[in-house]
């Protein structure tokens, strides 16, 4: 059995994904559940079927919220680093940040996934999901 899933990437692109062939319905449902959780954690959103995809991809509010960065740390899975920024009220889990944002801030080349990074006075700004929770880091500013 196979399944297809449509999602919107963190950058707003609509993507159709297909699972590999799985032996039965139970294996497929279990794999889909795990995959959905990983996609949500990585910043992907489901395509809403009850309205066109264009409004779902519209930018969030231009107003951003920020916090002082305590550390930037990675979780490594299958050889890929998944970065999170910790600080303020996000000490435990942090807020996800993608490589392109780290690159724009000039941080990606200096980060080591095995060691948390910290720079005093750096502020991370994040966008919000519709439910008011942080979605992802979109910009960094260095302290003066």
Per-residue pLDDT of the chain (144 residues; tens, 9 = 90+): 788 878 888 877 778 888 888 887 777 777 777 877 788 778 877 776 543 333 333 344 456 789 999 999 999 999 899 999 999 999 999 999 999 999 999 999 999 999 999 988 899 999 998 898 899 999 999 875
* DSSP state, residue 93: S
Q: What does pTM read for this prediction?
A: 0.55
**pLDDT of res. 141:** 92
CA-wise closest residue to 94 among 124, 119, 64, 114: 124
Q: Count how many Cα atoms sit within 13 Å of the Cα of residue 100 in the half-sphere of its side chain.
A: 4
Q: Strand, coil or helix: what is 36?
A: helix
Domain boundaries defined on the chain: 4-57, 65-141
Angle of CA points 125, 44, 89, to nearest 5° = 35
Are the C-beta atoms of 72 and 107 separated by less than 8 Å? yes
Q: Cα 84 to the chain's mean position, in Å?
A: 9
Question: How would you classify the pairing of strands 4-8 and 45-46?
Answer: antiparallel
73/113 Cα distance (integer angstroms): 7
Check residue 69 and give left, alpha or beta (phi > 0: left; psi -120 to 50: alpha): beta
CA-wise closest residue to 95 among 138, 61, 49: 138
């Amino acid at each position: 059995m196979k399944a297809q899933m449509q999602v919107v990437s963190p950058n707003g692109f609509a993507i159709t994904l297909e699972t590999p062939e799985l032996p039965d319905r139970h294996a497929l449902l279990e794999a889909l559940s795990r995959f959905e959780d990983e996609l949500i954690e990585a910043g992907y959103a489901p395509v809403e079927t009850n309205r066109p995809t264009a409004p779902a991809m519209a930018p969030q509010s231009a107003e951003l919220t920020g916090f002082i960065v305590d550390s930037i740390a990675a979780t490594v899975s299958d050889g890929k680093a998944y970065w999170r920024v910790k600080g303020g009220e996000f000490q435990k889990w942090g807020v996800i940040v993608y490589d392109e944002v780290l690159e724009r801030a000039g941080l990606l080349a200096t980060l080591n996934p095995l060691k948390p990074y910290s720079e005093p006075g750096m502020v991370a700004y994040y966008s919000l999901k519709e439910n008011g929770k942080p979605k992802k880091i979109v910009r960094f500013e260095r302290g003066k």
